[in-house]
A = this chain, B = another copy of it.
Amino acid sequence: MSLSIYKAAENKGVLLPVPPMAGGNYNPVQLRGNIGYVAIQFPIQETIFTHQGKLGQEFTTEDGYQAMRLCALNVLAQINEYVTMDRLEGINHITAYYRSAENWDEAPSIVNGASDLFKQILDTKGEHSRSLLGVHALPKNFSVGLTVTFTFQN
C-alpha cells in the first residue's frame, strides 16, 4: 500500500494541517499531464491567519521563516489530497512572495523555511529550484505567500 504525503510527514514528526479552502473560483491543486500546480498558499493554521504584516516591522526574520514553513506545510497538505508518495516524482520550483519594510534584507533566510521543510519531509523528492520577490501587496495583508509546482506519475 502506498504511503500518503500525510503519513510521510508524520514519520518525520510533522503533522500536516487541514488544507485551506480555495478563496475563489479555482482549484487548490490542478493536475495536467504529469505536472501539479498548487494555488498560492498563505500562513494559515487551521483557518487562523498567523502572519499579517511586514517582515522587518511586525515580524522578525525568524517569524518569517516560520511563516514560510507554514505555507509549505499547507502546500504539502494540498498535494496530499491528490497524490501519494510513490506517485510524487518531486517538487519542481517554488516561488516565494514577501512583504517587507524598507531596510529588511533577509529574504533568502525566510524562504529556507519552505525549502528546508520540503527536503526534510520528501528527501530528494523535495529538492527544487526557487524564485523570491518582494511584493507590494498580498490578500489579507499576509506577510508571505508560496506557489509550487510538482511532477507526478499517473
A residues with CB within 8 A of B = 23-30, 32-35, 37-40, 89-95, 97-100, 105, 107-109, 111-112, 115-116, 119, 127-141, 145, 147, 149-151
- Contact of B97 with A26 in the complex, beta carbons under 8 Å: no
Q: Give the distance to chain B from A35, nearest Cβ to Cβ, in Å.
A: 7
From residue A108, how far is it (CB to closest CB) to chain B in Å? 4
**Those 3 A-B pairs whose CB atoms lie nearest each other, nearest first:** A134-B137, A37-B93, A40-B131
Asked whether B129 lies within 8 Å of A27 as measured between CB atoms, the reply is yes
A26-B127, A33-B89 known, 17 other contacts, Cβ within 8 Å: A24-B108, A24-B130, A26-B130, A27-B129, A28-B129, A30-B90, A30-B92, A30-B93, A39-B130, A93-B149, A98-B137, A99-B136, A100-B136, A100-B137, A105-B140, A105-B141, A135-B136
- Nearest chain B CB to A150's CB is how many angstroms away? 8
A26 CA to B134 CA, complexed, in Å:
18
Residue among A131, A149, A150 having the largest count of chain B Cβ atoms under 10 Å: A131
CB contacts (< 8 Å) of A109 on chain B: these are 24
